[in-house]
Structure 1
């Protein structure tokens, strides 16, 4: 059956001076598309973070898995998923410790990840805790430079690791980005009102999906401005538009609401 073209009046973007607990709850419930806080970091903080970021050891993703060049720092859990859906723990913990040491050497002051987690904790009313595996805190907070765009895809830790991964039980996942460099044109993030369905696999392309997967789906697009912070639910299909010039650099991590009402973070 064709998908409906009727619009969900709740699937909108909110621009707000600060994040609130209501924003987080609505994103988790799926009754909001995205929340953006302009000037979350001021220009001085962006410049300092960018200078420190250039001291971090960065690399592109494996082109066999991610054909669109995306430079990044820091381990992402789904890069360590084996064919059986389980984590390659030895390799992950080695890389996580190496990344923590590199972060300290870079002298990230002010630290955009620490600032972001503190403000989100204040909004929720309780500090954001790291996700843990076997009582061990995972790495949280990546740097990504996406200039040629990212394919339409979704992120869902419960599908990536269906046997479970964290000590905490996840109810809903959110994605956070704060931009410390933005291009003059292009680079928009688009979020579609669509979660993965088995039929989407006919449109599979590398790590993502061809546009036919979200044809006729409601969408919102947000072009980042310097210092902007963005929260959205990454179970919705989303993509990044290519930009013709300049750098598009964001610090990012995932959040989750747990069954105990706690917020946890990872990357």
Structure 2
């Protein structure tokens, strides 16, 4: 039940099984070819990256593009003025950078083809959210989970999301940096193990898990409601990936955000 599927392309069945929790992850090797990965990586210097707030994410992570969770106010509401300003600025900067081929557009087109309908941005009050952050994670990430419905319990999107998936596309990797996904979702008892934005090892002790080392060009999908973590790099190099969330809605469509 909790296994990793490796396939030449994503399918609608993969997405459905991930949403249902009967697959741990799906990996498509060579989702983006090596030459395109090199071209994209070489062009990334044209983008302005910033670190996550160290008060919230103590491990250093560089990123381009805003994430909704970083603009969440106490009580689970959106800091709308700040978020929309950053989203508009990121879209303009991405357009100016002119990175071609566009790895985010390629990814969304292929995932939409797999599902049978185009992936569209999640919207808030009719405005399209930003989808497709770039993240450089060299020092790892703590064990954590992502769930838009818990992060914004009063609801955020115009659409109603019933299942959330996480997508990563690796354009540069280093030794190490594996993603571990545990067969465990949040339970109130986990708060005993709270550590900054994530959780200590006790929260997942004894749980079934899979390890997913990154490879250049890999496309990876998993259910981020399962606790997951990223190991630090073990040597020189950059672990760089484009990332976004997919939401399966009550209407059966897929929406995207970061």
TM-score (norm 2): 0.99
In structure 2, the partner of 1:3 is none
Distance 1:52 1:110 in 2: 11
Pick the aligned partner of 1:189 from 179, 203, 227.
Answer: 179
Within 5 A, what are the aligned runs for 1:1-267? 10-183=1-174, 185-244=175-234, 245-267=236-258
Structure 1 stretches of at least 4 aligned residues deviating more than 6 Å after TM superposition:
none
CA distance in 2, matches of 1:180, 1:106: 17
Distance 2:244 2:125 in 1: 20
Deviation, 1:204, is 0.4
User: Aligned to 2:226, what secondary structure does the other structure show?
Assistant: coil
Instruction: Give the deviation of 1:219 after TM superposition.
Output: 0.1
Q: Number of matched residues?
A: 257
- State the Cα deviation string for residues 23-56 of structure 1 (Å, max 9, x = none): 0000000000000000000011101111222210
Query: Which whole-Å deviations, capped at 9, do the CAs of 1:145-196 have from their partners, x for residues lacking one?
Result: 001110000000000000000000001000000000011x211000000000
| C-alpha distance in 1 between matches for 2:32 and 2:148 | 28
Aligned to 1:7: none
Root-mean-square deviation over aligned CA pairs? 0.6
Q: What residue ranges of structure 1 are gaps of 5+ in the alignment?
A: 1-9
**What is the distance in 2 between the residues matched to 1:228 and 1:171?**
26
Query: Any idea what the Cα deviations from partners look like across 1:74-113, whole Å, max 9, x if unmatched?
Result: 0000111001210011110000000001101111100000
Q: Aligned partners of 1:83, 1:36: CA distance in 2, in Å?
A: 36
| TM-score normalised to structure 1 length | 0.95
Cα distance in structure 2, aligned partners of 1:18 and 1:236? 23
Higher strand share: 2
